Amino acid sequence: MITEIEDVNNSKQPLWLQDYIDSPKKQQQLYKKTLIIVIIAQMFGGAGLTAGITVGALLVQDMLGSESVAGIQVAVSTIGSAGTALFIGWLSQRFGRRAGIAFGFFFGGIGAMGVVIATLINSFFLFFVSLFLYGAGTATNLQARYAGTDLATDKQRGTAVSMAMVSTTLGALVSPNLVDIMGEFADSIGVPTLAGPFILAAAAFILAGLVILIFLRPEPLIVSEAIANAKEKKGPLRTVQSNLEKPIINRKGFVIGITIMILTQFVMIAIMTMTPVHMKHHDFGLGEIGLVMSLHIGTMYFPSIFTGPLVDKFGRTIIAVASGVILVISGVVGAFTPPNSIMFLSITVILLGIGWNFGLISGTALLVDATPLSIRAKTQGSVDVWYALSGTVSGALSGWVVAYSSYAVLSISGSILSLLLIIIVIWFSRSQIK
């Protein structure tokens, strides 16, 4: 941590930090190293995230015996995600990315272990507390994408976010297809079948945290802020703890970015949460549900390899509008899909994943563009609170909508909100807000 920094022209920074300030080559090397570490951690994090997504709603339905409460799993875990996102952002701003991200992954792992224990002793209280802690893993998976942007240039930010996210694909694709295997393993050790994937989630989150804690050195956020301040020659360098002058946020970019992220999250969570429940209601097995969900989760993350460069080349708002168009089509397909057609259900969730991916990366790039380094991590944590809360409301409402109407009504509602997203993005992008 930086504890003693004098004027830029009479520098007294630690030697290791001064080396990075003076050497663009070392800066580029650290940028690449940071991306590699984040990519490895995200592979494990993706497995932890998707294990719970695949069977969480089914586990709640099984424990509480009602389809209308199936969305509570996502609601509770995303409340946990919201609560921890702010703390992870604060930790990252004060102590660096390594502390914040590692903490979040470890808490997610503890939550997953708690879910398994709760099912063993049939404790609803422990179950929901554990889901809350499990949400920390979700928040961290999202916050980790920011670490790759700290040393990225304006023209690299979309690509940096995409590289951090695409690495989640491996875990995201593998994890849902291990549902049957983990269920059998759970049976063999006396744990309820549906709790099996949470055993995988616990191990995956803890491994992700260890990768970050051990290897994410030096801190990319500290280095990037020191470099930025040295270039600007504004006098005393700010550290990650200090804030000597009021930072200026680009309001227009901030508002558009957060709007894109929140609305795409709301639509995606609603339809994703109820798809496994809808499939189970129409007699699909766990293997088929796992396959469809792996396609969805894979397309949430794998397109990032293309999305980031597209965002950097064609602009943030164009890709955001494309996100809204894809989500509209996804909702329409979902509404008119025959309930026994695994092919059209797969198309629905594939489009849902791609639309969410476009929205998250374009929105994230706008958010990073709009916030100065001195408050970036803290601001990102605050934004992710609202991002998670949108998922909380969406997850809770989705079960109620399906229980009292239908999956088709839920899908059409998603299309309407996605159309609203397109209108809002176009209006704000043409406004005079600064």
pLDDT digits (tens, 9 = 90+) for 351-362: 999 999 999 999
Determine the pLDDT at residue 336. Answer: 93
Say if residues 346 and 295 touch (Cβ distance below 8 Å): yes
| CB count in 10 Å sphere of residue 173 | 19
Question: What is residue 225's DSSP assignment?
Answer: H
Reference 388, options 302, 277, 261, 273; nearest CA is 261
Tens of pLDDT, residue by residue over 70-121, are: 567 767 777 787 778 788 888 888 888 899 999 999 999 999 999 999 888 8
For residues 170-193, give the mean pLDDT: 78
Structure tokens at 75: 């609601």
Backbone φ/ψ region at 23: left (φ over 0), alpha (ψ -120 to 50), beta: beta
CA distances from 422 to 263, 323, 365, 427 (A): 10, 8, 17, 9
pTM: 0.70
Tens of pLDDT, residue by residue over 279-309, are: 988 888 878 887 888 788 778 878 888 888 8
Determine the pLDDT at residue 264. Answer: 96
- What's the one-letter identity of residue 123? S
Domains defined along the chain, listed by start: 8-430 (1.20.1250.20)
Tens of pLDDT, residue by residue over 38-84, are: 888 988 888 887 766 667 767 777 777 665 565 677 677 777 877 78
Confidence of residue 421 (pLDDT cuts 50, 70, 90): very high
Task: Reply yes or no on whether the pLDDT at 240 is more than 50.
Answer: no
User: 256: exposed, middle or buried (C-beta count within 10 Å: 0-12, 13-18, 19+)?
Assistant: buried
- What's the one-letter identity of residue 150? D
Task: Count Cα neighbours of 159 within 13 Å in the Cβ-side half-sphere.
Answer: 12
Cis amide prior to 218 (ω within 30 degrees) = yes
